[in-house]
């Protein structure tokens, strides 16, 4: 729910990217059937939108309950003894200007070009919305599949706009879960033949 809300909010504020997703859906699915789970592998721009959403608005901006397994010293001089409890600031990692150009901007296309090989399971820790290593979220694969399929079906079946075409407030709320501070309001109108909405 958290990621879907942020993804839809970002797309409503970036009409060109929303149009690209819907064009991709029209190209690969058409308008005479619904999106199936097997279609997701062909929807590369939609997958990039989900990755970029998880980068900008990870479901949990910090990861707790980690401990250093060995003594280590960072290049900036910090020494971390083995056993030290660590809190990982995922939000900061995902907005690191040394890794991401324009780190605060919504640019899904980066996952088709400069960051094509970056994935939520990447061993380089650029994108870690589900954590990593032995403590990675066990539901990460299921979560990605559900978010991608739900977003694809929503955007394929409906035109989405914000009421009065106002920009969506992107303020987050404080806490361990990265929720929007204000509810998302969306106006939906059908895009497909009426017979596809009957079942």
Domain count, the chain: 1
129/126 Cα distance (integer angstroms): 10
Assess if residue 186 is contained within a domain.
yes
Tabulate helix, strand, coil % of the chain (nearest 5).
40, 15, 45
Note down the domain range covering 13: 2-60+91-196
User: What are the phi and psi torsion angles at 64 (to 5°)?
Assistant: -110, 180
Predicted structure pTM score: 0.91
Q: Could you tell me which residues come within 8 angstroms of residue 108 by beta carbon, excluding any fewer than 6 positions away?
A: 17, 45, 48, 49, 51, 52
- pLDDT single digits (tens) 79-122: 989 888 888 888 898 999 998 999 999 999 999 999 998 888 87
Other beta carbons within 10 angstroms of residue 150's beta carbon come to 15
**Looking at residue 67, what is its pLDDT?**
79
Q: For the domain that residue 127 is a member of, what is the CATH number?
A: 1.10.630.10
Residue 82, in any domain of the structure = no
Mean pLDDT value across the chain: 90
* 63-74 mean pLDDT: 81
Give the phi and the psi of residue 70 in degrees, each rounded to 5.
-135, 160
Which of 99, 106, 100, 103 is CA-nearest to residue 6?
106
Residue among 52, 92, 59, 5 at smallest CA distance from 177: 59
Examine residue 127 and state whether it is found in any structural domain, yes or no. Answer: yes
pLDDT score for 123: 75
* Any domain includes 69: no
Tell me, yes or no, whether 159 lies in a domain: yes
pLDDT at position 137, please? 81
Question: Does residue 56 lie within any of the structural domains?
Answer: yes
Q: Is the pLDDT of residue 64 over 90?
A: no
Q: Is residue 71 part of a domain?
A: no
Residue 122: per-residue pLDDT? 74
**Is 137 assigned a ligand-binding role in the annotation?**
yes
Determine the average pLDDT of the residues in 160-175: 89
- Residue 167 in domain: yes
Tokens standing for residue 15: 């009409």
Most confident of 14-18, 30-34, 189-193: 14-18
């Amino acid at each position: 729910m958290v990621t879907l809300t942020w993804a839809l909010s970002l797309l409503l504020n970036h009409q060109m990217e929303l149009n690209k997703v819907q064009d991709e859906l029209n190209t690969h699915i058409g308008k005479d059937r619904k999106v199936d789970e097997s279609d997701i592998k062909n929807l590369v721009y939609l997958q990039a939108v989900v990755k970029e959403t998880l980068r900008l608005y990870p479901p949990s901006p910090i990861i707790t309950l980690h401990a250093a397994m060995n003594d280590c010293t960072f290049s900036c001089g910090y020494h971390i003894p083995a056993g030290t409890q660590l809190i990982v600031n995922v939000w900061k990692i995902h907005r690191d200007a040394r890794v991401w150009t324009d780190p605060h901007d919504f640019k899904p296309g980066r996952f088709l070009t400069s960051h094509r090989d970056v994935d939520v399971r990447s061993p380089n820790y650029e994108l870690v919305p589900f954590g990593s290593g032995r403590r990675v979220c066990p539901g990460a694969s299921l979560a990605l599949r559900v978010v991608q399929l739900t977003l694809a079906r929503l955007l394929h079946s409906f035109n989405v706009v914000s009421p009065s075409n106002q920009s969506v407030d992107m303020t987050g709320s404080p806490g361990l879960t990265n929720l929007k501070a204000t509810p998302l309001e969306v106006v939906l109108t059908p895009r497909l033949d009426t017979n596809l909405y009957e079942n």
